[in-house]
Structure 1
Amino acid sequence: MTRKREMRTFNITSLSKRDGTNEQPLMISGYASVFNSKTSIGDYFEEVIAPGAFARSLAENDVRALFNHNWDKVLGRTKSGTLRLMEDERGLKFEVDLPNTTAARDLVESMERKDIDQCSFGFIATEEDWNYSVEPALRTVIEADLFEISVVSIPAYDDTEAALVRSKEIDRSVEKRIKILNQIKGVMGNE
């Protein structure tokens, strides 16, 4: 059976950037995918991405960061070190050092205006589980072959986020908000 490439898009909930200097390029960071976040795929089925779904792919693949899934607008690449991807307890976290291109400058302008604040990713599901006992059916992506992440204007998943980082370090306030949200979710889940 031939596997098809798929794309999923998410809302970016906290956007931040790092102002570029002569020594450091502008940087965007956030989550391209959030684990266990359910979304509707074309009203046909619901889908969640399982924790660890990208682990093998991150170790083996050369992944690109794009603008709107456009391969002509490459923002960064893992092979060159301008895109850094890692999984944590929340999801697929990314940092991308933006190039000094028209596309990247236009993206930054749109992000600063809050016109663009969403993320997406392109993948091939290599292991999945289907639950047909619920309506609509639920697909769990257990393992995915990741080939790109994108900052986009229209999402499929609402829980993603991207931010322009204003210093060399990751914005600590984003990290604190994530911990607080996870604590709140934990308390609500225990009720």
Structure 2
Amino acid sequence: MDRIEVKFSTEDMDAKTGEFSGYGAVFGNVDSYGDVIAPGAFKANLREWAKAKKLPPMLIQHGGWMMGDMDALPIGIWTEMEEDDTGLKVKGRIINLDTERGKTIYGAMKEGALDGMSIGYRAKKFTLGTKPEEPRRKLEQIELFEVSVVTFPANGKARVAAVKSAEQIKTIRDFEDFLRDAGGFSNAAAKAIASRGFKAADPRDEDGADLAAMLRRNIATLS
């Protein structure tokens, strides 16, 4: 199967409205954990969102990963979301373009420094591969939690796979790798954040307990 990077085109961006479009996920794209999304995987959940008369939130870096209260605040709104022959096609706009945060995010997107999209989801139905040449999991039904604008590493697929596979984090080393791949942190920053996050599990430490709760919530959301 082909490996396709999930990027949006800066040519479609509107400087006045902050609008842009692209794909939150694509079909036939094997990630580094061996998962592939099957056509039709989003349809049922998109119908549920339509009934609720809203769409999943638009975040940056899947909520920022513990860097501050503002990280979980949506950076924009999705105005259109549908499944086509390629994957999950989305259209949206960045909000608050008159603020420093809005200008920074939009500027990074316009210049191509922030040019990827990724989904936070739960696999509701999947088929396990039984042969070496088959994907590890064929994802047949997905529940969407959010669609994020993200920064991709040189290997764009590694970034998407790491974010989608939060449930595979079992050790502090796994979490360090996750932060580097999914969050774009340096080795030193990933070690510091991971160390504090795991140490914070001690309930006697009030600040640490809050951090641990945030860590558990973020991982649960993307699992």
The alignment's TM-score, normalised by the length of structure 2, stands at 0.56
Gaps of 5+ in 2: 50-54, 64-70, 161-223
Code of the residue aligned with 1:67 in structure 2: it is I
More strand by share: 1
Deviation at 1:90, TM superposition (A): 0.6
Q: Which amino acid aligns with 2:24?
A: A
Matched residue, 2:30? 38
Is the Cα–Cα contact under 8 Å of residues 128 and 137 in structure 2 kept in the other structure? yes
Instruction: State the shift of 1:147 in Å.
Output: 1.1
Pair 1:111–1:76, CA change in 2 (3 A): closer
| Corresponding pairs, count | 138
1:149, 1:13 → 2: CA distance? 13
- Aligned twin of 1:108: 106
Residue number in structure 2 paired with 1:164? none
Deviations along 1:77-130, one digit per CA (max 9) or x if unpaired, are: 4xxxx4321111111011112211433321111122221111110001000011
RCO comparison, higher one (Cα < 8 Å, 6+): 1
1:19 maps to which residue?
Answer: 15
Kindly indicate whether the alpha-carbon contact (under 8 Å) linking 1:35 and 1:51 is maintained by their aligned counterparts in 2.
Answer: yes
Structure 1 residues 135 and 13, CA gap change in structure 2 (3 angstroms): same
In the alignment, which residue of structure 2 is the partner of 1:88?
84
User: Which structure is higher in helix share?
Assistant: 2
> Contact 2:116–2:151 at 8 Å: present in 1 too?
yes
TM-superposed deviation, 1:13: 5.5
Structure 1 pair 32–137 and aligned structure 2 pair: CA distance change class (3 A): closer
Question: What displacement does 1:135 show?
Answer: 6.0
Aligned to 1:173: none
- Look at both structures and tell me which one has the larger radius of gyration over its CA atoms: 2
> Is the Cα contact below 8 Å between 1:64 and 1:83 reproduced in 2?
no
Moved over 4 A (4+): none
Q: CA RMSD in A?
A: 2.3
Q: How far 1:47 moved relative to its partner?
A: 1.0
Q: Secondary structure at the match of 2:106?
A: helix
2:129 maps to 131
Partner in structure 2 of residue 117 of structure 1: 115
- Deviations 1:20-66 (Å, cap 9, x if unpaired)? 1xxxx21121000001111112xxxx011111111111111341111
Match in the other structure for 2:41: 53
Q: 1:72 corresponds to which letter in structure 2?
A: A
8 Å Cα contact 2:59/2:76 also seen in 1 = yes
**Which letter maps to 2:74?**
V
- Identity rate of aligned residues, in percent? 29
Structure 1 unpaired stretches of 5+? 1-9, 161-191
Alpha-carbon distance change, 103 to 51 in structure 1, aligned in 2, over 3 angstroms: farther
